[in-house]
Amino acid sequence: MAQIIETVDVDVPVRVAYDQWTQFESFPDFLEEVVSITQVDDTRNHWVVEVGGVRREFDTEITEQHPDDRVAWRSVGGETAHAGVVSFHRLSDDSSRVTVQIDWKPEGLAEMVGSMAGLASHAVRKDLDNFKDFIENRRTATGAWRGDVDA
């Protein structure tokens, strides 16, 4: 398994950052390789991604979610095996830190080489920078889901 850990500080309150992150269907607005996400129910999403010209589909299941604190998930089928957590930390009334940790299994030679070269980490870093730009320009979330999911 490969692991990625990246962090970004955003100039919005924790609640705004967290609320935006719960709007999975908006991820294509700031996650470069995500083509679409369809929310199936409160804990399941269907993803379509395109990485290096290869299109993949998979489902994820939210395994833990606590408002303004964390969202954890795992893949539950499809062409990619991974799990992760996004945590939210209050820095001040108007700023917060978002940390992403992803554990994933590179599939095939191209992904193994890319993982060793740090390309996946670079992609997550860029996506977090895109999230920062997206939420700081909006100043408010496009929606929110404040439900709680226990592991």
Q: HEC string of the chain?
A: CEEEEEEEEECCCHHHHHHHHCCHHHHHHCCCCEEEEEECCCCEEEEEEEECCEEEEEEEEEEEEECCCEEEEEEEEECCCEEEEEEEEEEECCEEEEEEEEEECCCHHHHHHHHHCCHHHHHHHHHHHHHHHHHHHHCCCCCCCCCCECC
For 141-150, what is each residue's pLDDT tens digit?
999 999 999 8
Q: What percent of the chain has pLDDT over 90?
A: 74
Q: What is the mean pLDDT of residues 34-61?
A: 92
Residues 2-24+62-138: name the CATH superfamily.
START domain (3.30.530.20)
For 106-124, what is each residue's pLDDT tens digit?
676 555 555 555 567 888 9
What is the model's pTM?
0.90
pLDDT of residue 135: 98
Domain parsing of the chain, residue ranges: 2-24+62-138
For 75-100, what is each residue's pLDDT tens digit?
997 777 889 999 999 999 999 999 99
